[in-house]
Amino acid sequence: MKTYVEVFVSSEGAKASEILKILTELGFQPSFGEQDFVYNWRREVVLPEILRFVDKIQEKLRGTKVLLKFTTIK
């Protein structure tokens, strides 16, 4: 399974390079196309596990003023 993230940055928030650093430290890889980053789970996961991961991402990005759109597919 893979989780894709589309990132929307604000001119009033953190720099895009800072967001890149945080997301890559969490295991995301930059992506080109509709999504900006992809996380490869390398296995099947269930919704509660995905939500815990999203909570962790939100915690790490708190105060950066970014908006995120998550999509997880098999």
The per-residue pLDDT for 23 is 98
Structure tokens at 63: 């105060």
The per-residue pLDDT for 14 is 97
The per-residue pLDDT for 69 is 97
Note the pLDDT tens digit of each residue in 35-61. 999 999 999 999 999 999 999 999 999
The β-bridge partners of 4 are: 38, 71
**The CATH fold of domain 2-73:** Alpha-Beta Plaits (3.30.70)
Residue-range domain boundaries for the chain: 2-73
pTM of the model: 0.92
What sections of the chain are H helices per DSSP?
A: 16-25, 47-61
